[in-house]
Amino acid sequence: MGLDATDRRILSALQKTGRMSNADLSEKVNLSPSACHRRVQRLEADGYIRGYVALLDARKMAVPTTVFVEITLQGQADEVLDAFERAVSRIPDVLECHLMAGSADYILKVVAEDTDDFARIHRQHLARLPGVSQMQSSFALRTVFKTTALPV
């Protein structure tokens, strides 16, 4: 079942304020509380809403440094990709891992306390990833903007 305009308003509102009460949400999207609750339950059941999270402040969590790491593997065989993906998913400092088209096979988003901490992460984890032939790291100087909200 597709999304109608009301579903999209609900999703947009929840992306901005996930802890909004059903009463506040229903008022915001102009629905009765019971109809709003049923729609949210359906959106959850249908997988449009995968979960609810708290977004933490990286500075307050002492990991203000973001590093993007481009990784090229030695080959593209399924077993090489699978081994790499299993290993990288176990590194707690890696927030995202994307299989890419282009010059790099993967791009990782890594958080660290500072350059010394990233050196530790590199030495203890990244340098030990299986199948890696080349790695290039780029440090973010400043985040211009950041969102988790998808366009609805």
pLDDT tens digits, the chain, 152 residues: what are they?
689 999 999 999 999 999 999 999 999 999 999 999 999 999 999 999 999 999 999 999 999 999 999 999 999 999 999 999 999 999 999 999 999 999 999 999 999 999 999 999 999 999 999 999 999 999 999 999 999 999 99
Residues 84 and 113 in one domain: yes
Q: Which residue range(s) make up the domain with 123?
A: 65-139
21 and 70 in a single domain? The answer is no
On whether residue 19 sits in a domain, the answer given is yes
Q: What is the CATH number of the domain that holds 110?
A: 3.30.70.920
Q: For helices 5-16 and 33-45, what crossing angle results, to 10°?
A: 80
> Which residues of 7-139 form beta strands (DSSP E)?
65-73, 94-99, 106-112, 132-139
Domain shared by 75 and 37, yes or no: no
Domain count of the chain?
A: 2
